[in-house]
Amino acid sequence: MLEISAGRVVDGNYVVLRPDGELDAYSVAQFREAFAQVSEEQRLLVDLSGVQFMDSAGLGALIGGIRKVRDNEGRIAVFSDRAAISRLLHTTGFDRIVPVKEDKLEAVAALDESPGN
């Protein structure tokens, strides 16, 4: 089961998209829908700290969401403090297309970096 929350962090001037649960073929449609609702935000942090498992469908949805945000000239960063998820993102080279940080403050700071850094 996947639960997703999204909300603006007022003092940080960014939006957080936080899936909680398993991000897989069974829940990916729900994740895509939630991502679409925030794809026009100028600063988006995807918080994967609540994701226990992610398969290739989840990774694909994450990449698709990133493209939409960038197409709208937004900035995006990913936060994951779970070793297995961070390892997946680094092993697949995902961290070469978007900042992936294991510290939330570093991920927020990455929103101010140039896209692609």
Tell me the per-residue pLDDT of 12-59, one tens digit each, with 9 for 90 and over. 789 999 999 999 999 999 999 999 999 999 999 999 999 999 999 999
Of 19, 24, 23, give the one whose Cα is nearest residue 6: 19
Listed ranges 8-12, 16-20, 112-116; the one with the highest mean pLDDT? 16-20
- pLDDT band with cut points at 50, 70 and 90 for residue 114: low
Instruction: Give the model's pLDDT for residue 9.
Output: 86
Other CB atoms closer than 10 Å to residue 60's CB: what's the count?
Answer: 13
In a domain, 57, yes or no: yes
Task: Output the pTM of the full model.
Answer: 0.92
Answer whether 17's CB lies under 8 Å from 6's CB.
Answer: yes
pLDDT tens track for 52-104:
999 999 999 999 999 999 999 999 999 999 999 999 999 999 999 999 999 99
Question: Does the pLDDT at position 117 exceed 50?
Answer: no
Q: With respect to residue 14, please indicate whether it lies within any of the assigned structural domains.
A: yes
What's the pLDDT at 12? 73
Report angle CA 73, 59, 31 to the nearest 5 degrees.
Answer: 75
User: What total of structural domains would you count in the chain?
Assistant: 1
Residues spanned by the domain of 19: 2-110
Instruction: Please indicate, yes or no, if residue 117 is contained in any of the structural domains.
Output: no
Give residue 115's pLDDT. Answer: 56
Domain for residue 8, yes or no? yes
Alpha helices in 3-103 (DSSP H): 28-38, 56-71, 83-91
Instruction: With respect to residue 82, please indicate whether it lies within any of the assigned structural domains.
Output: yes
What CATH number should be reported for the domain holding residue 92? 3.30.750.24
Q: Average pLDDT for residues 109-115, to the nearest whole number?
A: 81
